[in-house]
């Protein structure tokens, strides 16, 4: 079991240092604590340490946690960051504030249709395949403009920006390339007149490179909660 408050503090320090190096202010970068596979005990420790935004990948697991914290923490923000199947969009539209992993119009339309009227617009990012690999999820860079133009017409979605999950690399220079590409794509959307402001990029091992290239949300799991054990059934 890792010391979650201490690890959170370390990550906040890494973010602050990277922002200082990039000439940015630390409040321009939001830390999303990726709590997938971790139970409510771990999340409660993070909340007690002041963390309010959480990222989840698996809808059923996430909804159980969201419901667990519903009563005593209405200020929490839940972000869906994992691959989306169309049979799970209703639960996502009902329970999350953000979705980072929109990668096709069918999913976007369903999320908009299924978003309850009583809730604010669902904040969404388009996931972009920055590694140009067939196997990877995400839209190709050349498809971003057309899909953004369609998404902004959906009544219950608010397009906020772009997200990517690059191939892991330990070379800080190589790490920056896909992040620079995502930043360019966001600028293209802004030049086309879209009010987008979000670059969701950077994880435990490459958040410094992402912040150098303009990340506004970094998604950190292992460096806060410890190694994930996918074999173990999650104890919620």
Binding of ligand PLP by 220 (CB under 6 A) = yes
| CA dihedral sign, ordered 94, 95, 97, 101 | negative
Binding of ligand PLP by 211 (CB under 6 A) = no
Q: Please provide residue 132's backbone torsions phi and psi, each rounded to the nearest 5 degrees.
A: 55, 40
Strand pairing of 217-220 and 30-34?
A: parallel
Candidates 15, 34, 107, 196: give the one binding ligand PLP (CB under 6 A).
34
How many CB atoms lie under 10 A from the CB of residue 20? 12
Q: Mark the segment that binds ligand PLP (CB under 6 A) among 17-25, 177-185, 189-197, 213-221.
A: 213-221
Binding of ligand PLP by 14 (CB under 6 A) = no
Question: Are residues 76 and 69 in contact, defined by beta-carbon separation less than 8 angstroms?
Answer: yes
* Residue number with CB closer to ligand PLP (109 or 222): 222
Cα 113 from Cα 110, distance rounded (Å): 5
H or E segment to which residue 180 belongs = helix 172-191
**Least distance (Å) from ligand PLP to the CB of residue 170?**
13
Question: Are residues 111 and 119 in contact, defined by beta-carbon separation less than 8 angstroms?
Answer: no
Candidates 136, 143, 222, 234: give the one binding ligand PLP (CB under 6 A).
222
Binding of ligand PLP by 169 (CB under 6 A) = no
**Least distance (Å) from ligand PLP to the CB of residue 130?**
13
Binding of ligand PLP by 166 (CB under 6 A) = no
Candidates 81, 122, 151, 186: give the one binding ligand PLP (CB under 6 A).
81
Binding of ligand PLP by 8 (CB under 6 A) = no
**Least distance (Å) from ligand PLP to the CB of residue 153?**
26
Binding of ligand PLP by 114 (CB under 6 A) = no
Cα 62 from Cα 29, distance rounded (Å): 24
Q: How far lies 178's CA from each of 65, 82, 102, 104, 149, in Å?
A: 32, 19, 18, 21, 23
86: which DSSP letter? G
Binding of ligand PLP by 36 (CB under 6 A) = yes
Size of the chain, expressed as the number of residues it contains:
236
Candidates 165, 182, 199, 215: give the one binding ligand PLP (CB under 6 A).
165
Question: Are residues 2 and 46 in contact, defined by beta-carbon separation less than 8 angstroms?
Answer: no
**Least distance (Å) from ligand PLP to the CB of residue 165?**
5
Q: Mark the segment that binds ligand PLP (CB under 6 A) among 22-30, 46-54, 173-181, 221-229.
A: 221-229
Cα 191 from Cα 148, distance rounded (Å): 13
Binding site for ligand PLP (CB under 6 A): 34, 36, 57, 81-82, 165, 203-204, 219-223
């Amino acid at each position: 079991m890792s010391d979650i408050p201490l690890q959170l503090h370390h990550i906040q320090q890494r973010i602050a240092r990277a922002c200082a190096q990039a000439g940015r202010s630390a409040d321009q970068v939001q830390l999303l604590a990726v709590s997938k596979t971790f139970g409510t005990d771990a999340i409660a420790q993070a909340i007690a340490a002041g963390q309010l935004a959480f990222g989840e990948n698996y809808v059923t697991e996430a909804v159980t946690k969201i419901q667990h914290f519903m009563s005593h923490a209405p200020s929490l923000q839940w972000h869906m960051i994992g691959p989306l199947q169309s049979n799970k969009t209703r639960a996502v539209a009902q329970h999350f504030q953000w979705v980072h992993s929109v990668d096709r119009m069918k999913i976007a339309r369903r999320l908009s249709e299924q978003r309850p009227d009583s809730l604010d617009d669902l904040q969404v990012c388009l996931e972009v395949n920055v590694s140009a690999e067939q196997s990877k999820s995400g839209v190709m860079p050349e498809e971003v403009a057309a899909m953004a133009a369609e998404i902004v017409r959906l009544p219950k979605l608010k397009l906020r920006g772009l997200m990517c999950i690059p191939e892991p690399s330990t070379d800080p220079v190589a790490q920056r390339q896909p992040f620079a590409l995502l930043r360019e794509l966001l600028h293209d959307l802004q030049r086309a007149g879209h009010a987008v402001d979000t670059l969701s990029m950077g994880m435990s091992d490459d958040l410094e490179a992402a912040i150098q290239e303009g990340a506004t949300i970094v998604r950190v799991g292992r460096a806060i909660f410890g190694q994930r054990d996918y074999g173990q059934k999650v104890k919620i």
